[in-house]
Amino acid sequence: MPERLRSLIRDIHDYPSEGIVFRDITPLLADRAGLALAAESMVNPFRHQNVDVVVGAESRGFIFGTLLARSLNAGFIPIRKPGKLPWSTIARDYDLEYGSDRLEIHDDAIQAGQRVLLVDDLIATGGTMEASCQLIEALGGELVGISVLIELEGLDGAAKLAPRTVHSVLTY
């Protein structure tokens, strides 16, 4: 199974800057069986965790997040870049492997005690996921886990999120 998914991910060297290997998931997204397999592999560990809402980080987290929310019969909540949400928000700044950014969520998106699954396509340094976790926790959400398609092991992003549960389908 992992090799089937791995075969659908294209490596693009020196993108977006020199020395970075970008894992391009667009071939996987275009492959109906590959997309279904990726979503099932990401959601399976959380099927019996009574997830109320799935949160996805902009933008590829939206793709997988909505698929997983549907599979779990849960709602979906987006975490977005600044200025993209129309209602009152809370925000967190974070560092990327090649810069920094900011994420926002509606301040009423998660109700205290809701069980939340956080989803994205990839975890690198863990900055995006850590900022997302902080936003979820600030709103009183109970984070049941984090599910990603790809983990870049050499950057230790998943380790930085401990003791939170991180499920990665593929590692590079």
Is residue 3 part of the annotated active site? The answer reads no
Query: Among 105, 108, 111, which Cα is nearest to 91's?
Result: 105
Distance between CA atoms of 129 and 122, rounded to whole angstroms?
9
Place of tokens 């998931």: 25
Q: Residue 38: what residue type? A: A
Q: How far is CA 130 from CA 53, 136, 143, 159, in A?
A: 18, 10, 12, 11
Catalytic-labelled residue, pool 23, 60, 92, 115 = 60
Work out whether strand 166-171 and strand 142-151 pair parallel, antiparallel, or are unpaired. Answer: parallel
Is residue 153 part of the annotated active site? The answer reads no
Rounded to the nearest angstrom, the gap between the alpha carbon of residue 35 and the centroid of all alpha carbons in its chain is 15
Catalytic-labelled residue, pool 6, 40, 58, 97 = 97
Instruction: Enumerate the active-site residues.
Output: 60, 97
